[in-house]
Structure 1
């Protein structure tokens, strides 16, 4: 494990550490992460810097380094603060309802913090809250005839679908939903060349501009999973 990863583990999983030198701590990792989240929410992840976070907290950049070694660790703390806890487990709630709740809350989280799409790419250290999301999905599918890898793959599949829709929504801002923007751009072209693209023209003629891609895709993923579970049970 790299030194950077070790530092992320220490900050995310270890007990809160006091600065190794200097006066009594005046900051906390929670305040630092919240300041970074506020900047990223307002201006995007690229705007976040140790200098800017320190300024927002009325501290010097050097004083911030007493708590967080660098920007990579800062972003790891921001991600953990922004993702929050997954939906709580509810007795009697079926696996399908549980996965829907997790997916819906993930979609809301990404809409509230679009910069998370950039901050959660590639191999990295996850904090306990973020890992709790994976735990919730895997646990919801326990006892339904799926292997461990299949349950893990389900979590990845659901997250990938939600992230894909969130990426489209971010690209469409501030002009409306992805579907509405697509219709505005392609609609006139398809209509003009309906003889060449008759299926597209007919399908787009019935579009009402509502963004249904998230729910439609989620339902189809869960339908396929339900078919697999039923087949295994039979």
Structure 2
């Protein structure tokens, strides 16, 4: 994913995107019954993005995938920007609600784990901006579940929104690192451990890089490397960071209750 330009999907027609997301019918069309549905187009676009990346999703490529002419796709979606909105909401439809009866901490953990898995199934979600996505039903349901997890625990509405943003932001950041690491392994053919086996002797032969000059970095780096068998472990960073975020929320709530 590194080197792939982030795709902006907020420059389309928000009115038409929202209508498509919520199933509001457009103007009546004359002529034969369409061969496809908007859902067919979205699923084809998602399949292309999953197989390659978001840059593979062009109207021409989607049309080729479906065996139709590029111009015919505009029967179903106004353009690529609106298609990205539909793809994001489609992917959010795979997210599930936490089990009933969980406490807020366990519920947020389940939500974060679900999103972590979603990014690994659909890495292209990290290649699109979401601040101006036209919210569809699945994206609204996602936000509703995040807020429901902390409803009534002592936070005001702005703080509840901030908590949802903290959790989802952590998941996005660490999932990006995880996917970047996986891409590096595929591209180089070397695991992190194998790469460091090659790099370590070179560093050892450079006096300025001696552990005596950087005693804390050397000690901690060695301990972390041995624990993770890699320079970094995004999955560990995700779960460690999530626990610390939840600790902070718990401390805030406890303080309010005193």
TM-score calculated relative to the size of structure 1: 0.89
Q: CA 1:16–1:109 in 2, change beyond 3 Å: closer, same or farther?
A: farther
Structure 2 residue corresponding to 1:198, chosen from 215, 239, 257: 215
Deviations along 1:49-85, whole A, 9 cap, x unmatched?
Answer: 1111111111111111111110001111111112224
Deviations along 1:165-189, whole A, 9 cap, x unmatched?
Answer: 1121222233459xx7499469737
TM-score calculated relative to the size of structure 2: 0.81
My pick for the range that moved more, 190-199 or 49-58, is 190-199
Answer yes or no: is the 8 Å Cα contact 2:95–2:118 preserved in 1: no
Structure 2 residue corresponding to 1:114, chosen from 105, 123, 128: 123
Determine which structure has greater relative contact order: mean sequence separation of CA pairs < 8 Å that are 6+ residues apart, divided by chain length: 2
Q: CA 1:38–1:85 in 2, change beyond 3 Å: closer, same or farther?
A: closer
1:77-156 equivalences in 2 (<5 Å) = 77-156=86-165
Matched, 1:228 2:245: no
Answer yes or no: is the 8 Å Cα contact 1:86–1:132 preserved in 2: no
Aligned-CA RMSD value: 2.6
Deviations along 1:69-106, whole A, 9 cap, x unmatched?
Answer: 10001111111112224322433210011100110010
SS at structure 1 position matched to 2:183: coil
Tell me the distance in 2 between the aligned counterparts of 1:181 and 1:3: 41
- How many equivalent pairs are there? 232
Q: CA 1:120–1:16 in 2, change beyond 3 Å: closer, same or farther?
A: farther
Unaligned runs of 5+ in 1: none
Matched, 1:32 2:41: yes
My pick for the range that moved more, 161-170 or 19-28, is 19-28
My pick for the range that moved more, 185-194 or 42-51, is 185-194
